[in-house]
Structure 1
Amino acid sequence: MLVVNRIRKTIKSKVILNDISLTLNAGTIYGFVGRNGSGKTMLFRAISGLMKVDAGDISYQGKKLHQDFLVLPNLGITIENAGLYPEFTGLKNLQLLAKLNRKIDTEQIKKSIKRVGLEPNDSRSFRKYSLGMKQRIAIAQAIMEQPDLILLDEPTNSLDEEGVRLIRQVIREEKQRGAMILLASHNKEDIQLLADKVFYLDAGRLVDEVYPHAE
């Protein structure tokens, strides 16, 4: 269980997260929608531990972020730029990242790359990837260690129709595996087809929540 308890964040006198509280459970896909600047990405940064909040707290499995751990354990995340080395191949980049936790081997990394529709042995460097390929390798990075919690910020951006279908299927499979998935997307179909519950943010405040399939 992930509990967000009345978190607040201000940057340069601007409130970007305003008294947000959430209780989220495993095996569920939560959609987050709102206009640009509504606070979706900042909320994901706060939940992951990439950004400290000014007030409130975040706990996961009963332990508090920035108190019991610096970043959430068993976390997979795609947020903003992929942050990979441009001169290395996709496989080499993921191998370097996997060394941080030493949970998976090269064969498991290759399997994740194949799941998102890429060729693991592609010799091209990351800088030569198309935008769609970069998006796919970012998803592979997020899922490769079979994390318990997955944060996906605009996961179908820059993908063609086939890529969108494939990534949606990967997200469904991760849910079936038991992962908790937080999904922010401007693509209404992503939210309608994938999310079990949807939260609407406006100016850093949680203003509404619905079940997308209830109609």
Structure 2
Amino acid sequence: MNAVEINDLTKVLKGRTVLSHITLNLEQGGSYGFYGHNGSGKSMLFRAIAGLIHPTEGTVKVFGKQLGTDISFPESMGLIIENVGFWSYYTGFENLKVLASIKHIATEDDIKNVMRQVALDPEDTRTYKKYSLGMKQKLAIAQAVMEKPQLIILDEPTNALDEEAVDAVRKLIRGEQEQRGATVLIASHNKEDLKQMCDKFYKMNDGKLEEGDLQ
């Protein structure tokens, strides 16, 4: 089964076509990188796959189920698109614990383990409000993978990270795909990120999609 099947997807917002006749099939367990200039449509495509916007025309299926018809959102998804809504006066661990309580999938040990993998200390008593930009980004990545989702969608995952943290995140995301069989979609301006974490590449340009080449 394909993880993602998009058929002739078009999205028009305020009279502007932001996605134009996109057809795309992504195999389960693959890792896919998307690149293109700001406003090219990468984030909009990810929003459509995540069920956050609905097609003007065409269809989006995730693991065989059509968004907007069979399901509203992918049933097993980890997501970073723009800012993640964390609570300012909770610690990082407390934030993840509250989010994990919704589905009861991730245990406290799971949360602590994934925080350490992104170089965050689960015992750190600082609140989210006092986190640096890099720490906030690490926490966002931790929440995206802590429940071991089948589909991981990351928009600019290494923004604001230092070199050591970038290496840790690349290793974590590769492990999710190679060891667990997760399907990974990453949009980034950093082509080295895409080379390290993805096996196939697509270029977005003015809402249109084409196969890319980072060699």
Structure 1 runs (4+) deviating above 4 angstroms are none
Letter in 2 for 1:6: D
* 1:5 CA drift (Å): 1.0
| 2:199 maps to 1:199 | no
Distance in 2, matches of 1:210 and 1:16, equals 19
- TM-superposition CA deviations, 1:56-92 (whole Å, max 9, x none): 1111222111111110011001110121111111111
- Percent identical residues: 46
Distance in 2, matches of 1:103 and 1:192, equals 31
State the secondary structure of the residue aligned to 1:193: helix
Mind listing any 5+ residue stretches in structure 2 that lack a counterpart? none
Mind listing any 5+ residue stretches in structure 1 that lack a counterpart? none
Q: Which residue of 2 aligns with 1:61?
A: 63
Distance in 1, matches of 2:25 and 2:167, equals 29
Counting only pairs closer than 5 Å after superposition, residues 51-130 of structure 1 correspond to structure 2 as 51-130=53-132
Retained in 1: the 8 A contact 2:49–2:62?
Answer: no
State the secondary structure of the residue aligned to 1:114: helix
Q: TM-score, normalised by structure 2?
A: 0.95
* 1:194 CA drift (Å): 2.1
Retained in 2: the 8 A contact 1:30–1:195?
Answer: yes
Distance in 2, matches of 1:35 and 1:161, equals 23
- TM-superposition CA deviations, 1:126-147 (whole Å, max 9, x none): 1110010001000000000000
* 1:187 CA drift (Å): 0.5
The number of aligned residues is 212
State the secondary structure of the residue aligned to 2:43: helix
Retained in 2: the 8 A contact 1:196–1:211?
Answer: no
84 and 131 in structure 1: CA distance in 2 versus 1, 3 angstrom threshold: same
